[in-house]
Copies of this chain bind each other. A is one copy, B any other.
Amino acid sequence: MPKIVTDSDRLQKRRIILDAAAAEIARYGYDRANINTIAERAGIGRGTIYLYYTNKEDVLLSLLNSIGSMIDEIVCKCINSDQSWPQKIRDLALAFAQMALDHNDFFRVHISALHGVNRDIGQPVAFWLMKSFHRLTAALVQAIQEGEIFLYDPQTLAWIILGTLESMALLPNILNLSESLTQERANSLATFIWQGIAPSAKNNMVLG
């Protein structure tokens, strides 16, 4: 009489494995992360991982898709809200900062894959990033048309915004800063971004 494994059981175990993998990879990097240790952390046998994922890379890709979609969802939600643009940007900054705290391991793996050099591994990161990027670009195009924000090349602007959001979220990891000021930093960043794109800006004339 075989054990009955529902889809829900399966998803749950995939999740457990993913969490364990995120913890390992966030500490040692993909190449040095040890399948054996991941299995131990997940409380299962080494071979069992291969019943849920085809191989090590599959685990990583799944992990990157997970965090990638999570980020895209945040971007989507904040951008499409009924708030004003200054508020949208503040919401984005806060949501990013919070996500970097709540899912720190996933986020670190995401960042290292994003800036790492391996093209294969970078693929799902690029996929989701593009999705968020286009989503944001489209919203900016409309906002610029409606005069809500200063005229820029929307693509460059979208990139700058996403880039600064990630930089800010990374700050505590690299500089070992206290996490307690996360909210304040998010506010500062939102202020900074908004100043850079607010319609009233004329100061840029200074530059060629």
**Which A residues contact B (CB, under 8 angstroms)?**
2, 25-29, 31-32, 45, 84, 86-87, 90, 108-109, 111-112, 114-118, 122, 126, 129-130, 133, 150, 152-153, 156-157, 159-160, 162-164, 166-168, 170-171, 174-175, 184-185, 187-198, 200-204, 206-208
CB–CB B168/A190 < 8 A: no
6 CB contacts below 8 A, A to B, read A28-B118, A29-B118, A160-B167, A187-B208, A195-B201, A201-B202
The number of times this chain is found in the oligomer is 4
Return chain B residues, CB-CB under 8 Å to A126. 174
CB closest residue in chain B, given A203: B198
Partner of A164, one of B86, B164, B200: B164
CB–CB B117/A192 < 8 A: no
Given A27-B117, A194-B206, 10 more pairs with CB closer than 8 A: A32-B118, A90-B207, A115-B116, A152-B188, A157-B192, A160-B188, A160-B189, A162-B167, A187-B208, A201-B201
Partner of A111, one of B115, B185, B195: B115
Return chain B residues, CB-CB under 8 Å to A84. 206
Return chain B residues, CB-CB under 8 Å to A117. 25-29, 108-109, 112
A82 to B118, CA, bound (A): 41
